[in-house]
């Protein structure tokens, strides 16, 4: 009989190192005399004596049946479990077994103990041992004397920083973060246009240092990155600075402990750093997007390593980014923006929205080049000190974008080639037109950062679709 099949009758799972299991030994012996009983013993193949126990010290039977508490009692009919209970409770045992009375002299109730299958690290080890068929990835064996971290680097799996070796146990643990089938194809990943499964994403999430609860965000980010609208292939191939910037909204940001406050764009938060890194490792290891190959960035930027943060929604003066882009507040989402930065905005003296928005406009005027307009988008990350000024005046995001563009709309000749001594600029055909700095919908405001500091930051995009580049993409995160 296979480990996944059970004999008909009553089936018990026990271990000697459980006081409740020891207590019910007389009950099991009594049942053995009157009904079909099979006992599986997790830690001692001779326990309990007199019941003919089945050796389950490898824990395969317990694992296959999902046993979490011992004693566990199952009723099996035609190979199917039709009833179950854990611990000892006399009325339930009598009802399940059909034998009355049971356990004379025993207390009415006693809780069970944890199964050996749920001890720390054991679920992953058992899954790797007995569910190897769930994983289709090629196994790479390291030599006995190899340092596993150096070996991973030597095989080209790293972005330059150490990675976590993706053992079967770790990959299976990562896959517990999603209900999606490991073999489901998430996206076709550029530049090599390779189909990437949930399992492959999980492998790279392990490499990046993610936790299982981070995986749904990585999966959604990959879907967005590989869409035609976002144009990941073009973003890789450009000589520009940019990489994917991930902005997470909705309940999941708090659930997985993302940072939206102090040092929000910096180091120190595992979710922020590992999620962005996992996406980039998928692009590298599955899609083949490596520096010096298709990735031809002249300088690059930290966003090519991983750039991910959460919007500070709880006390924001505005609707969150995912709501602005058409989702409901209770949904979780990740928005991808082909960007880099931040470039600083410093204004510690402004006390009116008109003063502060003028500073914003002056700094935004330099995005890409003061003489270039309409070709580049931008996100302004606004911390609470600056946001408060707009909040108190009742300014919406739309009002802020309108005021910036009003201040930065100029005749094309003022941004023409050669204007202000700058060779770069707009073509002569636009000399007589009034040209705004940003296309409609190309300027975004996000609330994030620490409570102190009269600063904001600009995330500058790669060229937008007007120049054959990338559009921001928002994807719902599904667990």
In this prediction, residue 67 carries a pLDDT of 97
Grouping H, G, I as helix, E, B as strand and the rest as coil, residue 346 is: strand
In this prediction, residue 220 carries a pLDDT of 98
Instruction: Read off the pLDDT of each residue in 191-213 and give the average, rounded to a whole number.
Output: 98
Q: Looking at the predicted structure, is the pLDDT value of residue 306 above 80? A: yes
Q: Which is it for strands 307-310 and 243-249: parallel, antiparallel or unpaired? A: parallel
Q: Looking at the predicted structure, is the pLDDT value of residue 416 above 70? A: yes
Q: Looking at the predicted structure, is the pLDDT value of residue 54 above 60? A: yes
Instruction: Read off the pLDDT of each residue in 296-308 and give the average, rounded to a whole number.
Output: 93
Q: Looking at the predicted structure, is the pLDDT value of residue 267 above 90? A: yes
Nearest-CA neighbor of 276 among 251, 258, 289? Answer: 258
CA distances from 272 to 221, 279, 289, 311 (A): 13, 12, 22, 11
pLDDT in tens, 208-250: 999 999 999 999 999 999 999 999 999 999 999 999 999 999 9
In this prediction, residue 77 carries a pLDDT of 96
User: How far is it, in rounded angstroms, from Cα 90 to Cα 443?
Assistant: 68
pLDDT in tens, 92-149: 999 999 999 999 999 999 999 999 999 998 998 898 888 877 888 988 988 888 999 9
CB 363 within 8 A of CB 458: yes
In this prediction, residue 2 carries a pLDDT of 53
Instruction: Read off the pLDDT of each residue in 78-104 and give the average, rounded to a whole number.
Output: 96
User: How far is it, in rounded angstroms, from Cα 439 to Cα 372?
Assistant: 12
- 308, containing H or E segment: strand 307-310
User: How far is it, in rounded angstroms, from Cα 379 to Cα 459?
Assistant: 5
* Domains of the chain, CATH where assigned: 9-119 (3.40.30.10), 154-476 (no CATH)
Paired strand residues for 196: 187
* Backbone torsion region of residue 52, taken as left when φ is above 0, otherwise alpha when ψ lies between -120 and 50, otherwise beta: left
Q: Report the chain's mean pLDDT, rounded to a whole number.
A: 95
Q: Is residue 340 very low, low, confident or very high in pLDDT (cuts 50, 70, 90)? A: very high
In this prediction, residue 4 carries a pLDDT of 65
| Model confidence, pTM | 0.87
Q: Looking at the predicted structure, is the pLDDT value of residue 3 above 70? A: no
In this prediction, residue 128 carries a pLDDT of 87
Q: Looking at the predicted structure, is the pLDDT value of residue 474 above 80? A: yes
Nearest-CA neighbor of 352 among 386, 389, 403? Answer: 389
Paired strand residues for 69: 114
Q: Which is it for strands 410-411 and 434-435: parallel, antiparallel or unpaired? A: antiparallel
In this prediction, residue 467 carries a pLDDT of 85
pLDDT in tens, 308-325: 999 999 999 999 999 999
In this prediction, residue 406 carries a pLDDT of 97
Instruction: Read off the pLDDT of each residue in 147-153 and give the average, rounded to a whole number.
Output: 93
- In whole angstroms, what separates CA 207 from the centre of its chain? 13
In this prediction, residue 131 carries a pLDDT of 81
């Amino acid at each position: 009989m296979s480990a996944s099949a059970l004999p008909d009758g009553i089936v018990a799972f026990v271990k000697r190192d459980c006081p409740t299991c020891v207590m019910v030994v007389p009950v099991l012996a009594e049942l053995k005399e009157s009904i079909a009983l099979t006992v599986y013993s997790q830690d001692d193949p001779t326990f309990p004596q007199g019941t003919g126990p089945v050796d389950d010290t490898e824990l395969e039977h317990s694992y296959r049946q999902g046993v979490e508490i011992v004693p566990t009692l199952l009723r099996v009919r035609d190979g199917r479990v039709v009833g179950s209970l854990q611990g000892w409770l006399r009325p339930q045992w009598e009802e399940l077994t059909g034998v009355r009375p049971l356990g004379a002299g025993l207390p009415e109730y006693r809780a069970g103990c944890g199964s050996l299958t749920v001890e720390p690290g054991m679920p992953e080890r058992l899954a790797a041992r007995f569910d190897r068929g769930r994983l289709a990835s090629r196994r790479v064996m390291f030599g006995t004397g190899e340092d596993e971290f150096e070996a991973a680097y030597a095989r080209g799996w790293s972005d330059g920083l150490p990675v976590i070796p993706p053992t079967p146990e770790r990959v299976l643990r990562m896959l517990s973060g999603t209900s999606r089938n490991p073999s489901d194809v998430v996206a076709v990943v550029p530049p090599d246009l390779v189909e990437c499964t949930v399992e492959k994403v999980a492998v790279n999430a392990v490499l990046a240092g993610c936790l299982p609860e981070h995986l749904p965000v990585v999966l959604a980010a990959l879907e967005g990155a590989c869409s035609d609208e976002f144009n990941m292939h073009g973003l890789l191939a450009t000589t520009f600075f940019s990489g994917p910037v991930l902005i997470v909204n909705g309940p999941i940001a708090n659930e997985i402990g993302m940072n939206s406050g102090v040092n929000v764009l910096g180091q120190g938060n595992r979710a922020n750093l590992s999620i962005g890194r996992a996406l980039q490792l998928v692009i590298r290891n599955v899609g083949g997007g490596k520096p010096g190959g298709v990735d031809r960035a002249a300088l690059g930027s930290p966003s090519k390593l991983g750039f991910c943060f959460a919007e500070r929604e709880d006390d924001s003066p505005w609707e969150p980014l995912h709501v602005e882009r058409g989702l409901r507040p209770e949904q979780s989402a990740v928005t991808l923006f082909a960007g880099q930065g931040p470039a600083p905005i410093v204004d510690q003296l402004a006390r009116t929205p008109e003063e502060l928005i003028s500073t914003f406009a002056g700094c935004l005027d330099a995005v890409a080049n003061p003489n270039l307009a309409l070709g580049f988008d931008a996100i302004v990350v606004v911390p609470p000190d600056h946001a408060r000024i707009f909040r108190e005046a009742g300014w919406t995001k739309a009002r802020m974008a309108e005021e910036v563009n009003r201040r930065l709309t100029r005749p094309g000749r003022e941004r023409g080639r050669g204007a202000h001594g700058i060779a770069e600029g707009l073509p002569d055909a636009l000399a007589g037109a009034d040209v705004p700095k940003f296309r409609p919908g190309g300027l975004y405001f996000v609330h994030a950062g620490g409570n102190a500091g009269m600063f904001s930051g600009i995330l500058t995009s790669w060229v937008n679709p007007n120049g054959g580049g990338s559009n921001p993409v928002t994807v719902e995160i599904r667990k």
